[in-house]
């Protein structure tokens, strides 16, 4: 718990308390759909400079055209990110597997069954971060490292890492959590 307080204090050097509270509400273990205000707060920090309420479509419970475009953009941008990342020769197999898993994940996301692909989503993103940063991504101080070298990415990492690894929520909360992660990566 003390470690969590230290990490919160570190994060508050880069975001205001409203953002921290929104992250905590969204990542809570309770299967409660996050409030629209929290979702908008996170989209605004994930894509600064865009119009306010730029992620308002995420709050809508009905699948819409913007959501479909987000899945396509996420798919394209994440694959490009992985393909353009310089990796060690020993990680080529990992890269190939991640590219394959991105394709399969996006097929499921296109179908709209977010709950069934939550664990895959988290796993794929953790592997992408590993490919980007190598063994540094597995170190205990990676959150601080990421915040210091690239605050935008560091904030996203804090969000991703605060999410439970196993799905404990229904489809709608999983949908919002995944769309928020996709939103950052589609705009990164």
The first and second tokens of residue 93, run together, are 């197999």
How far lies 39's CA from each of 16, 73, 98, 135, in Å?
15, 19, 28, 32
Question: What pLDDT does 127 receive?
Answer: 94
pTM: 0.87
Range name among 62-66, 99-103, 173-177 with the lowest pLDDT average: 62-66
DSSP H helical segments within 12-141, as ranges? 17-27, 36-46, 56-59, 65-84, 92-111, 114-133
Whole-number Å distance between alpha carbons of 108 and 103: 9
Note the pLDDT tens digit of each residue in 91-111. Answer: 899 999 999 999 999 999 998
| pLDDT score, position 61 | 65
pLDDT digits (tens, 9 = 90+) for 130-173: 999 988 999 988 989 999 999 999 999 999 988 988 888 998 99
């Amino acid at each position: 718990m003390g470690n969590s307080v230290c990490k919160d204090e570190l994060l508050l050097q880069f975001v205001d308390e409203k953002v921290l509270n929104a992250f905590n509400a969204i990542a809570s273990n309770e299967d409660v759909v996050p409030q629209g205000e929290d979702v908008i707060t996170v989209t605004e920090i994930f894509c600064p400079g865009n119009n306010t309420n730029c992620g308002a479509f995420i709050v809508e419970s009905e699948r819409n055209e913007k959501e479909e475009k987000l899945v396509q953009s996420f798919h394209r941008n994440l694959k490009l990110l992985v393909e353009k990342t310089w990796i060690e020769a020993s990680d080529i197999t990992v890269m190939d597997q991640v590219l394959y898993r991105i394709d399969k994940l996006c097929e499921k996301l296109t179908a709209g069954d977010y709950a069934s692909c939550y664990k895959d989503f988290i796993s794929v993103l953790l592997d992408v971060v590993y490919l980007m940063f190598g063994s540094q991504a597995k170190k205990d101080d990676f959150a601080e490292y990421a915040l210091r070298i690239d605050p935008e990415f560091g904030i996203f990492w804090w969000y991703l890492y605060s999410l439970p690894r196993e799905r404990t929520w229904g489809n709608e909360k999983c949908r919002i959590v995944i769309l928020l992660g996709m939103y950052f990566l589609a705009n990164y």
